[in-house]
Structure 1
């Protein structure tokens, strides 16, 4: 049983694009969106013309957007303003920001699509695992690890593990092998563009993630021409493999949330292009496996520097991947994956992490700059596969 873990060329949209005006600047009273600046235009439609910013009852210490959205869990969010991000959660096109006038800098969301605010709120709560108290976890982690305590004081909290839709998580991480964030985002954008077009915000186009059936219609040649390289065959192969799962791929993936981690990793590794490390990423970021630890060379460096210094100088092997993952669980418990995520973020450069958080929390001002920008950080590096 496997127990080791890993972590545009433009395609025409399937539906005609609808333009959406960017959300307005947030004020203390969370006002309604200003009317369409071109109300008499017959060629433009503002998807956001009748919507308003809505608060989420969570402070920055429970959800920090710069520490959660651009740090390698999902590649579907775009920065559309100062400490403002726009992305798609299910069928909802949403902008998120921190409220400057709030002492706790809580999060507010702006719904661009014609969905109910209550359904969007529920989708966000599920997506960000908001039923889990981050402050309690960080307090527990800080009590057993001085390195984690240092990062906790630097960041001030807020780095959450997301609960993404399993289908989109699988295909995002198929693009991650031996890749960097910038290129992964471009590949994911190609896949997204086969879904329903929801609107444009800040110069970016946004789509509902396509179904497995729609993804299965994409050819390997099409993906190779879009720059996927060898990953093209994995995307095509996985789409077809999921179609053949009992009850369909969506149901099969969702059922993995009820299984033990080892079983989940083994099941995911039956998909083309998915090895133990990618499987652990999918398990952690979409399948409720909170103690999954994706071990790649970056996590290996963290482990040998702070957790297992006796292994420093050794080469990472699948057997040592097991030892690292087990050591994280032994130290941090059933939410070891959440602790590993923060330690991973602590190794990123100032770009989109320390600089972005610097505008949100005073702790970030003390952050040490790293040599490599986030876009250039390889999210996944091969150790006998993916």
Structure 2
């Protein structure tokens, strides 16, 4: 049986990309809810689908390691009529010599890292490694004390540049949902409608279904059977609308449109509100200042920044969404969406222990600042007291040297 790659088992089969943890932290970036295709398959090893391939990623202090499984098998067409076939088991292919991760060719199946610059470019583009994150953290921290304290623990949270089709339809599933349930829905969607790529340790990896497959008339009923509820209709209708009124490349073309224009275009699709539209803009359409606002971000704005927008209201409105987005854009600048993702990540329950560490750092900082101010104030008081004492001493000395004749002196004394 094919096994998930582990760096400790065979380093020679992996490829390396120079990337310090301050620029990318995999557990935070892949686990903060911006993508739903990655799973931790080993200690610090993440396996998922990107660019039509199955990858395993891990990292050391200054290196991003990646392993690409080749000869991805496309079982089935992904059409509704063949949904059942995509879940059929594939022959058990045992990788011999897994201890050294040697290349094997067993009945036509090869699994090895691909020494091809194409994969490296895909990875760089997916993680947007051309953007220097450490410099951005410094800029945000310089103008925002709260961010600076959070960022001291939550380093390396990057925005991904995802495929727009996958990003859009994944976030349509996010309506009134939490991360783990969205992951399950996206996984069922891909397993049912997407072409199979590979099977590793009984886990079937599938590519994301195409617009043409999602637009099929039978998709809504199929997805309702899989527990998608009302979202099933939105998925099918949005795909159909894109193909009928636009083109298969329409979502990619929105990368070239201004932010406001792209967001409003997305909102014409069924099931796409302002928050989902902003997620798609930020995470797949290069709109770096898009700030998706949900109840988490709303609470962050009120609790940590004293933002009064929407006070007294129980639900988010478009007006409140716009005001909070503008508030953070003015605070953080053109990469506001990236900064927002750090605070959103820190607010998730799954990372609460890390957040407590950040709170501890903040408390120590505040105490240190208070101690420094106290010491400074104490020193100033001592300096002022010393100055007063010095002044008194100088005055007394001067008075002694310049003391006038006493009126009680005798005439004799005066005439001596």
Question: TM-score, with normalisation over the residues of structure 2?
Answer: 0.72
Q: Would the alpha carbon gap of residues 150 and 215 (structure 1) be closer, same or farther in structure 2, given more than 3 Å must change?
A: same
Q: Could you tell me how far apart the structure 2 residues matched to 1:140 and 1:118 are?
A: 32
Superposed displacement of residue 365, structure 1: 8.1
Q: Would the alpha carbon gap of residues 312 and 268 (structure 1) be closer, same or farther in structure 2, given more than 3 Å must change?
A: closer
Number of the residue aligned with 1:380? none
Number of the residue aligned with 1:261? 259
State which of 35, 42, 62 in structure 2 corresponds to 1:74. 35
Number of the residue aligned with 2:46? 85
Number of the residue aligned with 1:272? 270
Q: Which runs of 5+ in 1 are unaligned?
A: 1-18, 33-51, 359-363, 370-386
- 8 A contact 2:46–2:57 mirrored in 1: yes
Cα offsets for 1:315-362 (capped at 9, x unmatched): 24321211100011101111000010001111112x3x366xx7xxxx
- 8 A contact 1:292–1:336 mirrored in 2: yes
Q: Would the alpha carbon gap of residues 145 and 192 (structure 1) be closer, same or farther in structure 2, given more than 3 Å must change?
A: same
Superposed displacement of residue 92, structure 1: 1.7
- 1:321 aligns to 2:312 (yes or no): no
- 8 A contact 1:55–1:109 mirrored in 2: yes
State which of 16, 24, 32 in structure 1 corresponds to 2:6. 24
Number of the residue aligned with 1:170? 168
Number of the residue aligned with 2:128? 129
- 8 A contact 1:21–1:200 mirrored in 2: no
Q: Which structure has the highest helix share of the two? A: 2
- 8 A contact 2:140–2:332 mirrored in 1: yes
- 8 A contact 1:20–1:199 mirrored in 2: no
Q: Could you tell me how far apart the structure 2 residues matched to 1:195 and 1:81 are?
A: 25
- 8 A contact 1:75–1:185 mirrored in 2: yes
- 8 A contact 2:278–2:290 mirrored in 1: yes
Number of the residue aligned with 2:381? none
Number of the residue aligned with 2:411? none
- 8 A contact 1:191–1:215 mirrored in 2: no
Number of the residue aligned with 2:85? none
Q: How does 1:246-257 map to 2 (within 5 A)?
A: 246=246, 248-249=247-248, 251-257=249-255
- Calculate the aligned-residue CA RMSD, in Å: 2.0
- 1:120 aligns to 2:119 (yes or no): yes
- 8 A contact 1:26–1:53 mirrored in 2: no
Number of the residue aligned with 2:414? none
- 1:220 aligns to 2:202 (yes or no): no
- 8 A contact 1:59–1:106 mirrored in 2: yes
Q: Could you tell me how far apart the structure 2 residues matched to 1:203 and 1:139 are?
A: 44
Cα offsets for 1:201-253 (capped at 9, x unmatched): 3543211112111222242111111000010100110111121243x23x111
Q: Could you tell me how far apart the structure 2 residues matched to 1:25 and 1:124 are?
A: 18
State which of 107, 111, 120 in structure 1 corresponds to 2:64. 107
- 8 A contact 1:144–1:331 mirrored in 2: yes
Number of the residue aligned with 2:157? 159
Q: Could you tell me how far apart the structure 1 residues matched to 2:174 and 2:167 are?
A: 11
Number of the residue aligned with 1:185? 183
Superposed displacement of residue 116, structure 1: 5.0
SS in 1 for 2:153: helix
Number of the residue aligned with 1:240? 240
Q: Could you tell me how far apart the structure 2 residues matched to 1:314 and 1:26 are?
A: 55
- 8 A contact 2:4–2:201 mirrored in 1: yes
Cα offsets for 1:74-125 (capped at 9, x unmatched): 11111101111111111121000112xxxx3422011112455321111111
- 8 A contact 2:37–2:48 mirrored in 1: yes
Using the TM superposition, name which of 116-125 and 144-153 deviates more. Answer: 116-125
Number of the residue aligned with 1:16? none
Superposed displacement of residue 20, structure 1: 3.3
Q: Which has the larger radius of gyration?
A: 2
Q: Would the alpha carbon gap of residues 77 and 313 (structure 1) be closer, same or farther in structure 2, given more than 3 Å must change?
A: same
Larger RCO (CA under 8 A, 6+ residues apart):
1
Number of the residue aligned with 1:197? 196
Q: Could you tell me how far apart the structure 1 residues matched to 2:17 and 2:145 are?
A: 31
Q: Would the alpha carbon gap of residues 320 and 312 (structure 1) be closer, same or farther in structure 2, given more than 3 Å must change?
A: closer
Question: TM-score, with normalisation over the residues of structure 1?
Answer: 0.77
Using the TM superposition, name which of 280-289 and 88-97 deviates more. Answer: 88-97
Number of the residue aligned with 1:96? 57
